[in-house]
């Protein structure tokens, strides 16, 4: 594979014809070579989903790089910059695939079941007393969510804070954007904070139960 300087990468990718096609092919190989090492922690190379994910990420990364060439500042090797883009895309896609067969309605209806990650995860090694305390607090929190929040606020809070679904995925499913979801979550937290105060609780009281190891 032809080795290029940063300037050569930029020149070849901005050129037309064979120069650009050669650079894209070489860059694709750089991405395919680097991703197995970067993703092994989250998805082993032996996983049957790995090959298709890497191919998909490589294609998306090339398109993103071509779209963002003017933002490359030359502070690192061009291939390092591309690799970081590829890893971000891959991790985003892994998070999305984790939730692709789960609806927001299912999350809200099944919020009494063990969450898949996020705020209220069970901790191994908890004593029976701590487990009972956690269950009681969970029921209390569920009651407050049902009584205090609108359906939209409850969906967002359960999906993000309790079940651990990524903000981008929740925003997409709710037909909104990240900034609007941030605003909704901010308003929701303020509303819950006021309600918790009326119940004689603080957010720290709730968190403490679920953060015991």
* CATH number corresponding to 104-210: 1.10.10.10
Which residue, 82, 86, 102, is CA-closest to 170?
102
Same fold, 6-99 and 104-210: no
What predicted TM-score, i.e. pTM, was given to this entire model? 0.51
176-188 pLDDT, tens per residue? 998 999 899 888 8
How many Å apart are CA 59 and CA 189, to the nearest integer?
39
Q: Which residues of the chain have pLDDT under 70?
A: 1, 96-131, 133-134, 162-163, 204-213
Per domain, the residue ranges of the chain are 6-99, 104-210
pLDDT at 134: 67
Total count of residues recorded for the chain: 213
27-61 pLDDT, tens per residue? 999 999 988 888 887 777 787 878 888 899 999 99
Contacts 24+ apart (CB under 8 A), 33-41: 34/83, 34/86, 35/86, 35/87, 35/90, 38/83, 38/86, 38/87, 38/90, 39/87, 39/90, 39/91, 39/94
Which residue, 154, 134, 135, is CA-closest to 195?
154
Q: Within a 10 A sphere around the Cβ of 101, how many other Cβ atoms?
A: 7
Contacts of residue 64, defined as CB under 8 A and 6 or more positions apart, other chains included, come to 85, 89
Q: Within a 10 A sphere around the Cβ of 141, how many other Cβ atoms?
A: 22
pLDDT at 63: 94
Which of these CATH numbers, 1.10.10, 3.30.1490, 1.10.1740, 3.30.1330, describes 6-99? 1.10.1740
**Helix or strand (DSSP H, E) at 144:** helix 128-148
pLDDT at 30: 92
pLDDT at 139: 77
pLDDT at 103: 52
């Amino acid at each position: 594979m032809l080795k290029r300087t940063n300037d050569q990468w930029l020149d070849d990718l901005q050129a037309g014809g064979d120069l650009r096609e050669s650079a894209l092919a070489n860059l694709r190989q750089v991405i395919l070579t680097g991703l197995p090492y970067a993703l092994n922690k989250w998805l082993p190379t032996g996983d049957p989903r790995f090959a298709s994910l890497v191919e998909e990420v490589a294609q998306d990364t090339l398109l993103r790089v071509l779209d963002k060439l003017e933002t490359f500042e030359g502070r690192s090797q061009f291939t390092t910059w591309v690799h970081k883009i590829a890893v971000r895309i891959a991790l985003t896609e892994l998070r999305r695939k984790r939730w692709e067969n789960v609806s927001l309605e299912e999350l809200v209806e099944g919020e009494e079941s063990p969450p898949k990650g996020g705020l209220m995860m069970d901790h191994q090694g908890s004593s029976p007393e701590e487990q009972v305390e956690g269950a009681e607090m969970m029921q209390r929190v569920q009651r407050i969510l049902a009584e205090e929040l609108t359906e939209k606020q409850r969906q967002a809070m359960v999906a993000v804070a309790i079940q651990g679904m990524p903000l981008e995925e929740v925003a997409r499913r709710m037909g909104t954007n990240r900034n609007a979801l941030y605003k909704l979550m901010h308003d929701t937290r303020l509303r819950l904070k006021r309600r918790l105060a009326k119940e004689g609780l603080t957010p720290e009281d709730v968190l403490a139960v679920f953060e015991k190891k």
